Structure 1
Amino acid sequence: MTNRLRNNLKLCEVSDASMILSGPVSARGQNAVHILVEEIERRTGIRLSVLESVPNDQLPLISIKMVNSSSSPAYGREGYQIRISQSNGRRLIEIEAADDRGILYGVGKLLRIMVLTRNKIEVPTDVDLAETPHFSLRGHQLGYRPKTNAYDAWTPEIYSQYIRELALFGTNSIELVPPITDDERTGPLMKYDPLFMMRHVSEVCDAMDLDVWIWYPNMGSPDNWYPATGNDEEFMKPEYLKRQLEEREEIFSSMKRIDHILVPGGDPGALNAQDLFDFMAMEAELLNKYHPNAKLWVSPQAFNPTDEWLDTFYTNVRKEPAWLAGVAFAPWEKHSLPELRRLIPEGMKIRNYPDITHTINSQYPVHNWDTAFAMTHSRECINPRPMAMKHIHNLLKDEGIVGSLTYSEGINDDVNKFVWSGQDWNPDTPVLETLREYARFLIHPDVEYGVANGLLALERNFEGPMITNRQISHTLNHWRKMESRVDEQVLQNYRFEMGLLRAYYDAYVQRRLIHEQELEQRAMDVLYRANETGIMPAMEQAEETLNRKYSQPVCTDYREKCLDLADRLFAHIGAQLTVSKHQGVSITRGAFVEAIDTPLNDMAYLLSAFQVIRSMEEELARKEALDAIIYRTDPGEGGFYTNFAADQSLLRVEIAHEWKEDPGYLNTALIRHNPGLLETAYSILNGSNSHTLLSRETCNRILPGLTSPPLAWISNLSSYYSAPIKVTYSNLDSRSSYTLQVMGLWGGRVDMLLNGKSTADNRITHRGLMETFEVTPDMIPDGKLEIVWVNEESGIGPYINELWLKKDNG
């Protein structure tokens, strides 16, 4: 037995230890011991013996003891105590708990503080630690369905191991999804029947005494998956209702364990609120037939909830039916968590259901994310956001919740799951402590600090404009240094591979952004001189310049590294990072590496324009068309142009709350992104036109026949639900008239006010598509124009891409 210092921590080697159960331990407790033996052997090659009595030697001993809760231990429910000390010449490691889960979590904590390397087991020399979880609910959703970016490729063995690892970090609940959701029942990567996998996960969870949840939406016909709330009139008809209940009975009757069902009010689904509760009562009766103690939960989430729908929803909640355990605070809810608390009975439980998997168009989007990130990383990239996760978690921790069960669509949010579990266990836990344990136990002790700091660095990559973010190159250097020093075991670890891929990918995209922005500027310089050189030669030279993206690419070694890592991650954990090779559903559904070569300038817009202009016969017509393209954003003398893809444009926007106060943007305007428009827009490079009708029509307003929009349309100023948007222009000439032109989209009951004056026009369905509005001197007597969009009814919007305020110089 030897001692050494490691990172200022004194360690003691216990490679020759054995294990003993000190008194009766239940079957689940013994399963936890089995996990301890297996996980140590997995990392060290050493299999510890489990003895029936204390040996007579002085070799290290791990003692696991279940005590009676009435003995008032120093910990509470699901808690444990770990002591490591020198006793009678022997290194003694003790785990004590009063319930099965306590034994499991004590085993997990011991594994996380151990230093486990090939042929060696080390522990801190002196530990006396007693812990009890802060929240009673600590879970994650792991749905086996095609839409996810990894889970559908998993085997039962991978599921079992992943759930075990989550449990060892304090998770006590796993949520499944049924075979029929807003998705296909099966997919090309799914090797097992979805119901079989549900049964398997249920059994795995039961063996560790983890609660089993099912997220169970009320799926009508596909036309009613994402409609206006409350218009599904088919669902409650007898024949359809019979099919829905039969489907549920097949699942409920075949699963070993179900503790809770969460029924979303929408997203997907479209029942009116009364039908929702009437059906849940039927569902609860059926559920309790097979799982007598199981309860239902409900969430008021819906994309466009009317006031009537919400009133009916909360009226039913306040009736407190016996089958209803509580309400979930979920994505796409109109009310904040404190508001939700006030709307429901005082004693009713609230489950937090945070979206930790998405970066845009989500409950907690990345704050002011650069458009280049949105275009290349999309909605489900590998997204470690440890500091943001801790902040969001702790902002809500004192609002009367019982804990959290997170929304996840795959392996991309792996770090976020472990950080969230750590905060659910103890909100005071430093993020760095969780990341060190994550790296030490799940990757390798030698990269404990390197990976922990590398993950924090990846989060900082997202901050500010990509083109000027020096952190990105520092982050890559950090990961490359680790890559050059670690052995093959670490290089083949999928968690290390995910961090390494993101580091290379961010750096590659940044280098492309710099290169392609410069190419665009050079092309524009040529086009500005077209009157001298001729329109056709100028376009030919500009096109050749833009195509240097392909003929003179930058950092091709970074690109190849990213593609190689994508292949390795598909092989190691089923991560579907591309559509074309790894069968991901889409770029926005985790296959973000498919966007690795997406142009980061207005190349597609310009090439589309060139194609139109070349078809013109008259040079004057060509000149006028080219001027419309290259001077598109020019507001004229004394005018203003605002593009909400540009960071500085927020200077005109009233920010009601800082991100730290309102990370869910329930009461604050935000920058949103639509890379889905980009996917279709850039398909013209492959000879395909697949724009929506609105996009095509609006492109025609720039230049008839134009098929690709400018990049400015990818990002927009928007709001969730009823948060107003205000943009202010000051120092205007109060004696002059102006024309306000808006590129955006709104409709329904959204109104735009110009210094308080409504611009509503019920004759126009879609507003803002290059629409113009007159601003007269009497409207701006003080030289100030406030443009405000207000949403009179629940719903999302508007979307504002660009504003021109053109002065009438006549």
Structure 2
Amino acid sequence: MKTRLNSWLVCIIATTLLACTEENPKILDLSQANIIISPQIKTPVQETAGNILVEEIEKRTKLQLPINTDGNSKTNIALVLASEQESFGLKVPIREGQDIPELKKEGYRILHEVEGDKNTLWIIGADERGILYGIGKLLRTVKMSEGRITLAANTDFSEAPEYALRGHQFGYRNTANSWDAWTVEQFEQHFREQILFGANSFENIPFQEPTSSPHFKVDPQIMEVELSKICQKYDANYWVWTPAPHDLAIENAHEEGLAEQEAFYARCPRLDAVFVPGGDPGENHPSLLIPYLKDLHGILKKYHPQAGIWVSLQGFNKEKVDYFFKYLEENKPDWLKGLVYGPSSPPIKLEREMLPKKYMHRFYPDITHTVRCHYPVENWDQAYALTLGREPINPQPLMYTKLFNRDSPYTDGFITYSDGSHDDVNKVLWSQLGWDSQKDPKTIIQEYTQFFFGPGVAKEAATGIFALEENWDGPILENKTIKETLALWKKLEESQPNLANNWRWQQLILRAYYDAYIQDRLAYEKSLEAEAYDILANANTIGAEEAMNRAMQHLKKADTHKVSQDLKEKVFVYGEKLYQSIGAQTSVEKYGARSAERGAILDFIDHPLNNRWWLEDEFKKIETLKTEKEKLARLDFIRNYEFPGEGSFYDNISSADARHVTSKTDDAIDFLWENDGLSRKRLSTQLFQFTPTLEYRDLDPASNYLIRVSGYGEALLRANGQRLKPTKYEKGFEEFKEFPLPKDLIKDGHLKISFDKPDEEHLNWRKQSRVTDVWLIKQQ
């Protein structure tokens, strides 16, 4: 016992840097550390690196670590390059071998060495960027609290990025739902934070008119240069997204486009890449676009000799794609740096296969949208699509990890498409997966919460982020997670008042309240609709007019007797907080969002989640019918729309609770957007797929069945592979097509329904045929 006590005393007295217990690992205390920076690190990164360490530590600990030029302190954080053998009178611990991360481009090593009573925490970078990424890893993993900063002793960690290109688009424009309200200082801090999580590129969208946003605090032509300066300061690549003139066939359009670009190039202190989308926007044929790009490259080289031209094939048809790749094969142009894969480009695998190896392949994934986009939310309930819309706060670490690993291997890296701060979690996830695609998303998110919220709350907050993603999985009324998620975030909200002004914290808590409010409102409004149908069932007794009046009065309770207003009020509180903290525009009227589709979630929080608008319009139509019999028949049809009777089935094609639908849309254009999101069509009409598949089992082979389809345009239906002939074929919204089902096709009681895609590539997707509702009706 005495020997053990002496051992404890030795640990306590020997050093304040190491905490020695049997229960806990040894701890390196960096609270009194000295920062020493090798003079071999080039400016401006030398100065930037020191500022990052000092400032980010001070924000979280109120400690201001000194920067000195020697290594005489007992505890040092030493920033050096892997090319150095000795620095500050200390031997730099460089390893030899073929696969050493800190010797690879942008790689680094963090190593704790003890020599006598001296502790050195080395951050060894393969290059200047490696230094910054090593600092990022350190700041993400140290434990910081007021007056204290600690790290596990004997730390030895190294890595180099898996993907060469890791970045995000930050368009300073009114289309974004927050950035147009930012200052230069806010952008610098945000770019710094993205670098600390592994990003190396930022893409702006220049040429914005100063009057295009009421939120601009800086003239956009000044900001586009300031963003270039920030990238220069942090040694990050500065990209710009600059479409070609809309129609290069117009006289002088080519020359005018080049002149505008040249003036911009001349203003930028740093510019690394120019991305010209081939479409979205832009409808130019490659025979016109290619000469423009070639001339653009010549101008770019005058001002930025190392910069490159990139182009995408977005919206190209087969003829345009073939033309482009034939040109590359025959001419092998050196002026082209690489090809960008974005939404509506040829398939990513095919594009990589067709692209000559001398050209890089950049990914342009959409991580910012939820519907009508590249990556839809899987199994998303329509109530969220109607209320949260296209640009809500959308942390989805599990979904995007899966999609990253599905698509990124065909590329050399990515610059994501983003239009605001609402996808902040997704940006960090992509940056870190760019370093190591096998990294556990739980580790990434916990580093995120520890860095931005602190170690005391990191684990619970990370759990809360994954819970928010689970809120979006499947039918809302069957999701028990939603209330548990709210309880978790309410607990965090109450226990962490110090985070009340943290905009990332505000976003996550807002979402928890919003989701819970929508769940309560959906349950309530669905019950009102069901009760309204019960009223309509008495129409034969009380008359059609009276039944409609009573049903409508009952449905209006959704507006006059609202539920869970305490939850709604909290959403609005956090909407205001976000506007004050980062200029987030969650409402068109209240906060000046550019449009209803641009993150205006407050404007849709009470959007009808039942069919009361549609029913109101239908009742008005019924009132014009001539006879009571016609009115009663129409009311009976409406009441039984989703309930075709025993032995029959109905499916709202893209609803999260569809029971027989086996397909999923792969690009989320399954939600009809019209009238600025205030469509009065039946809710099922607002969901669709172009070519859905459905499957039924245990049908009665002795019975006759009728397949009824609603949607828009064509419906080329097959039953168990056989094309069926319709007996009714209406093409408008909320009209019907009917197909008798031959008995010999379901002898085994099994039926698969599919739809051939009509030749409609010449049409905008909004005009293409789609399917919204399918009934399999057993004939009596």
Give CA-to-partner distance per residue, 1:489-519, whole Å, 9 cap, x none: x121111111111111101110111111111
Change (3 A) 1:16 1:519: same
- Report the AA paired with residue 416 of structure 1: N
Change (3 A) 1:512 1:3: farther
Aligned mates of 2:716, 2:630 — CA distance in 1: 38
Provide the residue aligned with 2:226 in structure 1.
Answer: 200
Give CA-to-partner distance per residue, 1:400-442, whole Å, 9 cap, x none: x211111111111000000110110112221122112111112
Provide the residue aligned with 1:338 in structure 2.
Answer: 349
- Report the AA paired with residue 340 of structure 2: A
Change (3 A) 1:460 1:640: closer
Provide the residue aligned with 2:774 in structure 1.
Answer: 803
- Report the AA paired with residue 549 of structure 1: A
Aligned mates of 1:725, 1:616 — CA distance in 2: 35
Which runs of structure 2 are paired with 1:206-225 in the superposition (5 Å)?
206-220=232-246
Which runs of structure 2 are paired with 1:728-743 in the superposition (5 Å)?
728=695, 740-743=707-710
Q: Secondary structure, in 3 states, of the residue corresponding to 2:222?
A: helix
CA contact 1:82–1:93 (8 Å) conserved in 2: yes
Provide the residue aligned with 1:665 in structure 2.
Answer: 666
Change (3 A) 1:196 1:114: same
CA contact 2:178–2:420 (8 Å) conserved in 1: yes
Aligned mates of 2:297, 2:612 — CA distance in 1: 56
Cα offset, 1:97, TM superposition: 1.7
- Report the AA paired with residue 711 of structure 1: L
Change (3 A) 1:195 1:678: closer
Change (3 A) 1:786 1:17: closer
Do structure 1's residue 300 and structure 2's residue 310 form an aligned pair?
Answer: no
Change (3 A) 1:279 1:754: farther
Change (3 A) 1:452 1:322: same
Which runs of structure 2 are paired with 1:90-129 in the superposition (5 Å)?
90-129=118-157
CA contact 2:685–2:733 (8 Å) conserved in 1: no
Do structure 1's residue 174 and structure 2's residue 190 form an aligned pair?
Answer: no
Aligned mates of 2:482, 2:163 — CA distance in 1: 36
Provide the residue aligned with 1:249 in structure 2.
Answer: 262
Aligned mates of 1:559, 1:406 — CA distance in 2: 32
CA contact 1:20–1:50 (8 Å) conserved in 2: yes
Provide the residue aligned with 1:15 in structure 2.
Answer: 31
CA contact 2:39–2:46 (8 Å) conserved in 1: no
- Report the AA paired with residue 665 of structure 1: D
CA contact 1:140–1:173 (8 Å) conserved in 2: yes
Aligned mates of 2:673, 2:19 — CA distance in 1: 52
Aligned mates of 1:717, 1:187 — CA distance in 2: 35
Do structure 1's residue 326 and structure 2's residue 338 form an aligned pair?
Answer: yes
Aligned mates of 1:444, 1:509 — CA distance in 2: 30
Aligned mates of 1:19, 1:586 — CA distance in 2: 48
Gaps of 5+ in 2: 1-15, 86-93
Give CA-to-partner distance per residue, 1:228-284, whole Å, 9 cap, x none: xxxxxx423232223222221121111111111112221111111222222211221
Change (3 A) 1:769 1:313: farther
Aligned mates of 2:618, 2:759 — CA distance in 1: 39
Which runs of structure 2 are paired with 1:497-646 in the superposition (5 Å)?
497-614=506-623, 619-633=628-642, 635=644, 640-646=649-655
Root-mean-square deviation (CA), in Å? Answer: 3.0
Aligned mates of 1:193, 1:360 — CA distance in 2: 32
Cα offset, 1:680, TM superposition: 2.8
Give CA-to-partner distance per residue, 1:740-769, whole Å, 9 cap, x none: 44322246xx855566676899xx996776
- Report the AA paired with residue 294 of structure 1: A
Provide the residue aligned with 2:681 in structure 1.
Answer: 709
Give CA-to-partner distance per residue, 1:380-413, whole Å, 9 cap, x none: 11000011111211223433x2111111111110
Give CA-to-partner distance per residue, 1:610-657, whole Å, 9 cap, x none: 3444566754454344334323445578654332144453524457xx
Q: Secondary structure, in 3 states, of the residue corresponding to 1:526?
A: helix
Q: Secondary structure, in 3 states, of the residue corresponding to 2:588?
A: coil
Which runs of structure 2 are paired with 1:354-753 in the superposition (5 Å)?
354-399=365-410, 401-488=411-498, 490-614=499-623, 619-633=628-642, 635=644, 640-649=649-658, 651-653=660-662, 665=666, 672-676=670-674, 679-681=677-679, 708-718=680-690, 725-728=692-695, 740-746=707-713, 751-753=716-718
Change (3 A) 1:617 1:737: closer
The number of residues matched between the two structures is 741
Cα offset, 1:20, TM superposition: 1.6
- Pick from 39, 51, 54: which aligns with 2:56? 39
Aligned mates of 1:520, 1:310 — CA distance in 2: 50
Aligned mates of 1:766, 1:585 — CA distance in 2: 34
- Pick from 175, 200, 206: which aligns with 1:147? 175
Change (3 A) 1:560 1:626: same
CA contact 2:692–2:771 (8 Å) conserved in 1: no
Provide the residue aligned with 1:770 in structure 2.
Answer: 735
Give CA-to-partner distance per residue, 1:553-593, whole Å, 9 cap, x none: 22111100000001001110111111121111233221122
Aligned mates of 1:235, 1:185 — CA distance in 2: 26
Q: Secondary structure, in 3 states, of the residue corresponding to 1:314?
A: helix
Q: Secondary structure, in 3 states, of the residue corresponding to 2:660?
A: helix
Give CA-to-partner distance per residue, 1:165-219, whole Å, 9 cap, x none: 0011111100111225xx9972111222222111000000011110111112224
- Report the AA paired with residue 548 of structure 1: K
Provide the residue aligned with 2:8 in structure 1.
Answer: none
Change (3 A) 1:203 1:760: farther
Change (3 A) 1:83 1:513: same
Change (3 A) 1:768 1:602: closer
Change (3 A) 1:717 1:53: same
Change (3 A) 1:44 1:786: closer
Change (3 A) 1:333 1:22: closer
Cα offset, 1:470, TM superposition: 0.3
Cα offset, 1:473, TM superposition: 0.8
Aligned mates of 1:798, 1:615 — CA distance in 2: 31
- Report the AA paired with residue 666 of structure 2: Y
Q: Secondary structure, in 3 states, of the residue corresponding to 2:619?
A: helix
CA contact 1:360–1:366 (8 Å) conserved in 2: yes
Aligned mates of 1:802, 1:417 — CA distance in 2: 36
Change (3 A) 1:512 1:634: closer
Change (3 A) 1:397 1:127: same
CA contact 1:378–1:675 (8 Å) conserved in 2: no
Change (3 A) 1:735 1:518: closer
Do structure 1's residue 258 and structure 2's residue 267 form an aligned pair?
Answer: no
Change (3 A) 1:786 1:34: closer
Q: Secondary structure, in 3 states, of the residue corresponding to 2:774?
A: strand
- Report the AA paired with residue 773 of structure 2: E
- Report the AA paired with residue 439 of structure 1: T
Change (3 A) 1:69 1:430: farther
Do structure 1's residue 287 and structure 2's residue 300 form an aligned pair?
Answer: yes
- TM-score of the superposition, structure 1-length normalised? 0.85
Provide the residue aligned with 1:227 in structure 2.
Answer: none
Q: Secondary structure, in 3 states, of the residue corresponding to 1:261?
A: strand
Aligned mates of 2:81, 2:736 — CA distance in 1: 72
- Report the AA paired with residue 619 of structure 2: F
Aligned mates of 1:443, 1:652 — CA distance in 2: 42
Q: Secondary structure, in 3 states, of the residue corresponding to 2:276?
A: strand
Aligned mates of 1:637, 1:135 — CA distance in 2: 56
- Report the AA paired with residue 597 of structure 1: D
Aligned mates of 1:23, 1:420 — CA distance in 2: 33
Give CA-to-partner distance per residue, 1:54-111, whole Å, 9 cap, x none: 33x53x2222222428976642111111122433213322212231111111111111
Change (3 A) 1:129 1:778: closer
